[in-house]
Amino acid sequence: MKFFQLKFIPQSTDFGLLFLRLVAGLTMLLNHGLIKVMSFSDMTEKFPDIIGIGRVPGLILIIFAEFVCAGLIALGWFTRFAALVLAIGMGVAFFMAHGMKLANPGSGELAMIYLAISLTLLFTGAGRFSIDGKKGA
């Protein structure tokens, strides 16, 4: 029964935050941000103007969130700022672009998960194993 207590796994909030930042940040950067950067010219024609500022400015803002801020989150550098920006982007994606639909696969569930992760990092900060942690942030 002692095995099920999982005492062999180190209990470290900082390690947990590092793992969360690396997985979420790199997944967002590589699977969402990089694709938008690489296909920027193609996406400008079909990217939705959800917040009414135009397709190109909206695309630039979400690239900033999904590529730049996701990279900052993975590094643990300016983490709270980056998490706030990404939370806003994922909030717009979940509440406006996907219409808060969680029942159908691919209809906003992932945006909601990234929103929850971003808000978690906004509240906790990056943890000790980060560039922010080295500065005492």
DSSP per residue over 6-36, as a string?
TTTS---HHHHHHHHHHHHHHHHIIIIIHHH
Model pTM above 0.75? yes
pLDDT of residue 64: 98
pLDDT at 10: 75
b/e burial code for range 98-134 (CB count within 10 A of at least 16 → b): beeeeeeeeebebbbebbebbbebbebbbbbbbebbe
Low-confidence ranges of the chain (pLDDT < 70): 1-2, 99-106, 135-137
The CA-atom distances, in angstroms, between 78 and each of 69, 75, 96 are 9, 9, 27
